Structure 1
């Protein structure tokens, strides 16, 4: 089903919670290939955010990307070296709405 243009979020599920800290040399090379795979979307200004996340459960990757075609971005994610080598998987979803900061961050109290 082609959902058309939109903003999509992907979550890279790594093979273990400690992955970011204890990658093997082979895994590190695959992660470099993973970054290179998405670089054209970064260069084109279509990638809103791309990078690793660390939370209480471990490490994983997050990307937010604008795409003209949902099927195309799904196929692109399926060709990611992380997926094709089997060291991880990518979950992809469509963002239904949201808020993007309109400019430079202002100092604000969180209190």
Structure 2
């Protein structure tokens, strides 16, 4: 298996503090999108990160050996926050190795 750490960067450093009601609905859809991937097995873990420079989200993707970062990018392109074209983005970072508990 291959693993990719994805950093979800919202539209601005204070986005999580200044969300409008529409932004909240979009973020809810974003969370539901990632939760569905978790339940299907493509994502191992996901959640928000409290960074003093501005919050962001982390998701850990588990992919087949034949898949690549481009495959992960194709998946995250379906995130409602990305499809809404509001300025959010994903940084897809391949992990050189991953050690985890069974």
TM-score (norm 1): 0.77
Say which SS state the counterpart of residue 57 (structure 1) adopts. coil
1:6-35 Cα offsets, whole Å, 9 max, x none, are 111111111121222221111111111112
TM-score, normalising length from structure 2?
0.83
Q: Match of 1:93?
A: 93
Query: Within the alignment, does 1:41 sit opposite 2:63 as a pair?
Result: no
Aligned mates of 2:52, 2:22 — CA distance in 1: 26
**Superposition pairs for residues 16-95 of structure 1, below 5 Å?**
16-68=12-64, 69-70=67-68, 71-87=70-86, 88-95=88-95
Aligned length: 98
State how far apart, in whole Å, the 2-side matches of 1:56 and 1:38 are. 23
SS of residue matched to 1:34? helix
Unaligned 5+ segments in structure 2 are none
Consecutive unaligned residues in structure 1, runs of 5 or more: 104-111
Runs (4 or more) in structure 1 with deviation over 3 Å come to: none
Alignment RMSD (CA, Å): 1.7
Distance 2:9 2:39 in 1: 24
